[in-house]
Amino acid sequence: MTGSRSRPAYLLLLPAGLWLILFFVVPAVQLFGTSLYDPAGSLTEGYRMTWAFGNYPAALAAYWPQLLRSLGYAAAATVACLVLGLPLAYAIAVKAGRWRNVLLIAVVAPFFTSFLVRTLAWQTILSDSGLLVGLLRDVHLLGPDGRLLATPFAVVAGLTYNFLPFMVLPLYASLERLDGRLLEASADLYAGPAATFRRVTLPLAAPGIVAGTLLTFIPAAGDYINARLLGTPGTAMIGNVVDSAFLIRLDYPQAAALSFVLMAAVLLLVVAYLRRAGAAALDRVA
Amino acid sequence: MADLRLHGLTKRFGAVTAVDDLDLTVPAGSFFALLGASGCGKTTTLRMIAGLDQPTAGRVLLGDDDITGLRPYRRPVNTVFQSYALFPHLDVEENVAFGLRRRRQRDVEAQVEAMLALVQLGGYGKRRPAQLSGGQQQRVALARALINKPRVLLLDEPLGALDLTLRRRMQIELKRIQTEVGITFVHVTHDQEEAMTMADTVAVMHAGRLEQTGPPAELYDLPATPFVATFLGQSNLLAGDAAGRTGDDIAVSAYGARFTVPAARSRATGETIFLGVRPEKLHLATAGDDVPPAHQHVTGVVTDSSYVGVSSHYLVRTGWGTELAVFAPNTGAERQVPLGAEVCAHWHPRHAFLLNRPPGEGDRTAPADANLGVPA
Amino acid sequence: MTRAGRWIADHWVLGAGLLVLAYLLLPVAVVAGLSVNRPSSRLSYDFHDFTLAWWTDPCGAPGMCAALVRSVQIAFAATVIATVLGTLMAFALTTYRFRGRAATSILVFLPMATPEVVMGSSLLALFGAARVPLGLWTVVIAHVLFCVSFVVVTVRARLSGLDPRLPEAAADLYAGPWQTFHRVTLPLALPGILAAALLAFSLSFDDFIITNFTAGTTTTFPMYVWGTAQRGIPPQVNVVATAAFGVAVALVAVTTFRPRRR
């Protein structure tokens, strides 16, 4: 079914394609327009299009720490997810045997409990009066006034927690396809466990690592829930700024400019990453 | 019943020509084998007959109907796919009933039952394909296609996934079923023995072209091209030149010697020719043995011998360096020829044949590692 | 290596994996605990006293059940629309070669590569400019948007894993394009489609950021939680979260442990 008869393809694509164009591409273009409005206007009085490219340097000058912090936190959370996700995915795919499905369910199920409620639960766990802080103070890993909540650590831990399943599932999918005989062949050819992991397992899991990294980094960079619930104003991320600029300060041009900067930063990083990781991986992600 | 005819059938994929200007007639009711190495275009040919691929040029005719442009689901042609393509979500009955149901036929259950009985799978109707062995899956695939009473049944390497014993059994089985239902079978295979044991007519394909078509015995006895001579069984092909005709014989000069071949056994049209003799048509004579008077011979040294039960296989190096393959039957009358023995390999001219030789090409003989007999 | 040393070498990964799993499940355990806890005061989360009061009266928290019902309605509508649209697109992408195929893949990928705040804010700006009143339907539109990409990716993965000869075999057996889709491709893709629908439902049900931008005065369950978080969430929220976890486990268990069809 190839070649000349492609008309049915367009019919099948039409509904979803229209939806994506109408509600993703058009708003993105419009958002770009909004980012160039006269910053002196307001929502009640209306905005004028003045091609105010100055909105971008102004927004960056005001909020570059939050932008950098967002990318930094997201990167830290992504690395943490990879470090935690690899043993878990490997254990499920290779070592779990008949418990495989049970463990998979255990990974997926928390995902169905409200994201906000779970983050609030972290608030409880990390709170100054919580068990964890008490324990850490007792063993002197934390000073007597040391805290976990309202620190960058709490925000990164929250991000890591929230997006870990997005890392584990693609990792699992690529490790599960791994042919066990390859590991045996590697062992037969004088590779110890570490060498086998580095030379055989990891390269073959690369598509999963690429997909998992993207699925973790992208939402983490735009998130503001963890920063709000587990951090302080000092740990605010770019999402917090965009959110308040749009919904509280009602400064649309600046909010739009910041949104665009965030999207551009993320897309730039994603493209750079995919170039290094190999464009073939994109096809497996998308 | 009507013949299946291909006229100038051509398929190009980009710059690659998979099937090149093929003309072929498959007589109605015959068991027809399309034989060739992988990549020779035989499967592409089959797919064009089935309607799964559209030819770049040429026509497919069934009797007087031109079916070239018909969609696969409008053709009275069915296929047994390589590794079967059974629907994993349907049980055996529903797999077999699939075609009948699409055409809203009556009496589906009874027909399915009869067909499962024909392929000896009565009682397996409720199983899923995954619960069947390879041989059983193969029978389901056959039943699923046959039940539609196609005018032509196409089989794409239908036995390729089975082990050797099962394959031999299914060959006999397929032949029995074909005789019973009388439908035209077009069987694609790379296994020359399979093609020869089953088919009434074998067509050998090579590089998208048809090399030769005919009954198996004719193809083996008098191959038309060097490819057929070496692909279907083995041949020793000696490079030579035609040196005139005397009566019913053609004279050949090769490596300073003169040979003759009956004109009826010549496929050669030019001057540069191959003189071909099958290894089992060569006999060995050692010092003191007589060479029968009508026979022709070359001399050489035995460089390799292997005992394979029914026969012994020898390699004989000639004075000009070519190694000839010789198969000697172990009838009990012969003695083994030792390595290094000086021998005379002789044959009767009516067992030799002449083929066209591309100018400049040297001898073609059986490869050294193929001396264990007819490749499976 | 000693026998014990070898055992540790073979099993430490499993141990590490289980520890990570514990990290994933810890908050769920806390939530489940809080759902049967009678706190000493409204703002305290100390484990104080066991009670089933919240489980027997889940709608006792004012406004929560209404928000929950709204979330289910939205998730249901978004799932149905996104699954249908996404499946059609995935089918087109795997079955046909056509001009614009690569562009379509990028169009599908982009929403997944866009942070939620950006998508939410751009939709807010669009609805504002088009003077579309915010409410249930604007939320559904937004949710379909971010779900549809995930549906396409999930269903496409399933479809591209199918034996390409199966549709050919159907065509050879007199099934036209529609029959082939209906009798062969669709049933075989069904596990993938169900997984995609489940994913879409959970993404929609749980979404806060985009919803917050596009909901106007409509309150969904995550928005309700967010709104009450400052004053301390009502314990019934933990009941809902725990119950959702239980339902999810049951649902996933049923879909995974069903007799396998290959």
Q: What would the pLDDT profile of A162-192 be if each residue is shown by its tens digit? A: 999 989 988 998 888 887 788 778 877 878 7
C-beta of residue A268 within 8 angstroms of C-beta of residue A249: no
The B residues from 210 to 229 touching C (CB cutoff 8 Å) are none
The correct CATH number of C65-222 out of 1.10.3720.10, 3.40.50.620, 1.10.10.10, 3.30.70.890 is 1.10.3720.10
Helix (H) or strand (E) holding C254: helix C235-257
Binding partners of A (≥3 Cβ pairs within 8 A): C
B320 in contact with C, Cβ within 8 Å: no
- On the question of pLDDT at A120 being above 60, the answer is yes
Residues with Cβ < 8 Å from A185, sequence gap 6 or more?
Answer: none
The pLDDT value recorded for residue C257 is 66
Binding partners of B (≥3 Cβ pairs within 8 A): C
The pLDDT value recorded for residue A4 is 46
Q: Length of chain C, please?
A: 262
Q: Tell me which CATH homologous superfamily contains domain A47-285.
A: MetI-like (1.10.3720.10)
A10 in contact with C, Cβ within 8 Å: yes
Residues with Cβ < 8 Å from C12, sequence gap 6 or more?
Answer: none
Per-residue confidence at A101, pLDDT binned at 50, 70, 90? confident
Q: Which residues of B touch C184 (CB under 8 A)?
A: 87, 89
A286 in contact with C, Cβ within 8 Å: yes
**Residue C184 DSSP one-character state:** I
Question: In the predicted model, what is the mean pLDDT of chain A?
Answer: 83
- On the question of pLDDT at A129 being above 80, the answer is no
> Distance between CA atoms of C131 and C129, rounded to whole angstroms?
5
C-beta of residue B344 within 8 angstroms of C-beta of residue B256: no
The whole-model pTM stands at 0.79
C162 in contact with B, Cβ within 8 Å: no
CA A116 vs CA A122, C23, C31, C207: distances in Å: 10, 17, 11, 9
- Nearest chain C residue (CA) to B128: C261
- Nearest chain B residue (CA) to C184: B87
> Distance between CA atoms of C94 and C168, rounded to whole angstroms?
14
With CA atoms as reference, report the closest residue to C238 among C39, C91, C22: C39
Amino acid at C132: V
Helix (H) or strand (E) holding B13: strand B4-13
The CATH number of the domain covering residues in B234-366? 2.40.50.100
The pLDDT value recorded for residue C256 is 67
The pLDDT value recorded for residue A285 is 46
C3 or A10: which leads in pLDDT: A10
In chain C, pLDDT over 90 holds for what percent of residues? Answer: 35
Strand partners, B272: B241
Per-residue confidence at B346, pLDDT binned at 50, 70, 90? very high
Q: Where are the domains of chain A?
A: 47-285
Cβ distance of B79 and C184 shorter than 8 Å:
no
CATH top class, domain B4-220: alpha beta
B78 in contact with C, Cβ within 8 Å: yes
Per-residue confidence at A278, pLDDT binned at 50, 70, 90? low
For chain B, the farthest-separated pair of C-alpha atoms sits apart, in whole angstroms, at 78
Q: Where are the domains of chain C?
A: 65-222
The A residues from 201 to 220 touching C (CB cutoff 8 Å) are 214-215, 218-219
The pLDDT value recorded for residue A106 is 85
The pLDDT value recorded for residue A267 is 86
pLDDT digits (tens, 9 = 90+) for B274-325: 999 999 999 999 877 888 889 999 999 999 999 888 899 999 999 888 999 9
- On the question of pLDDT at A21 being above 50, the answer is yes
- On the question of pLDDT at C12 being above 80, the answer is yes
The pLDDT value recorded for residue A286 is 41
B364 or A134: which leads in pLDDT: B364
pLDDT digits (tens, 9 = 90+) for B139-173: 999 999 999 999 999 999 988 878 888 888 889 98
pLDDT digits (tens, 9 = 90+) for B209-227: 999 999 999 999 999 999 9
Per-residue confidence at C82, pLDDT binned at 50, 70, 90? very high
